[in-house]
Amino acid sequence: MTTVTVPNELLTIEDWDALEETDTNRYWELVDGTIVMNAFPSAGHQLVAHRLATRLDVQLPDGLVALQHIGVTIEAQFPPTERGPDVVVFPRARAHLDVPRIDPVDVRLVVEVVSPGSRRTDRIAKVADYQYAGIPGYWIIDPAADDDSRFVAYELVGGAYKEVARGSGVITLERPFPVTIDVDALLTFD
C-alpha cells in the first residue's frame, strides 16, 4: 500500500506543480487549493474517453485537437482550481511539452465520462466550474444512465450553460463546432 502525505494547507499553483505524484492508482485534481483524490478511471471509462477523442479528432476543424487527461485551469488565483476532464478540445498550437495545463480561454469543449463515484461532481460541481471558466461546451457521458441521460450537452449562452442535447443514438451538434456522435457506439463494450 502506498502512503501519500497530503499537505495540511491550501496549495498554490506552484505548490501543485511541485508535488510528486506518488500513487498511480489515483487521479488527482486541485479544487479551491485542496487536493481531491479519485480512483483512477476503469478500463471501460478510458475506452469511452478514447473512442470519443478519436471520433472527435477526425471531425474537428483544422487547428483543433481532442486529448485525454490534460489539466484545465479553472481558477489560477489563490486558492486555485484545476480540473482534469476526460477529453479536452483546444487549439493544437497550445499542445507543447512544457505546458502543464490548458488555460480555459483556449478550451472549446470539455467532456466528463461519469464513474460510479463521480456522478454528483460531474453533474453539479463541474458544470459550475466549467461555466465559471467560460468554456463554450461541456458534455457529460454516463454509461450507466438510462437512455435519456446517457449523453447531455451544454452550450455556454450569456455566461450560463444551456442544455442543447440529451439522449442516445446519433446526436449532431453545430456548436462549439459541427460534430456528429453515435452515443450507443461509444458505449458498446462487446
Q: Convert the pLDDT of each residue in 161-182 to its tens digit.
A: 999 999 999 999 999 999 999 9
Average pLDDT over residues 30-48: 85
- Across the range 56-82, mean pLDDT stands at 93
Q: What is the pLDDT at residue 23?
A: 57
* pLDDT class of 50 with cuts at 50, 70, 90: very high
List of residues 6+ apart from 120 with CB closer than 8 A? none
Please give the domain boundaries of the chain with CATH numbers for all domains.
41-186 (3.90.1570.10)
d(CA 67, CA 39): 20
State pTM to two decimals.
0.90
DSSP string, 82-140: EE--SEEEEEGGG--TT--EE-GGG-SEEEEE--TTTHHIIIIIHHHHHHHHT-SEEEE
Q: Which pLDDT band, with edges at 50, 70 and 90, does 24 fall under?
A: low
**Mean pLDDT, the chain, integer:** 89
- Higher pLDDT pick, 119 / 50: 50
